[in-house]
Amino acid sequence: MNLAAFQADPESYAPQYGGYCAWAVSQNDTASIDPTQFTVHDGKLYLNYINKISARWKADKEAFINDADRYWPQLLQD
């Protein structure tokens, strides 16, 4: 069942913000990630750098998502 769902819509399983740390993107920056530090929110996958950042992210993810959405994708063009 999981494989079939992935094959039907692989884009929905792609991490947000190109796989960069979602918290870093919300700060108008990029950072690598730890694949064990993730959140699925509203059907989207968000990755974070380390446990400490992941905890910060989870505490106010709606605000961080709004900020990150504002900075992405122009962030990589700067």
Whole-model pTM? 0.86
Q: For tokens 């900075």, name the residue.
A: 71
Q: Which long-range contacts (CB under 8 A, 24 or more apart) does 28-33 make?
A: 28/71, 28/75, 29/75, 30/75, 30/76
pLDDT at 32: 96
Query: Residue ranges per domain, the chain?
Result: 2-77
pLDDT digits (tens, 9 = 90+) for 29-52: 999 999 999 999 998 999 999 999
Residue 60 binned pLDDT confidence (cut-offs 50, 70, 90): very high
Return the number of other C-beta atoms located less than 10 Å from residue 43's C-beta.
7
Residue 15 binned pLDDT confidence (cut-offs 50, 70, 90): very high
Residues 6+ away with beta carbon under 8 Å from 77: none
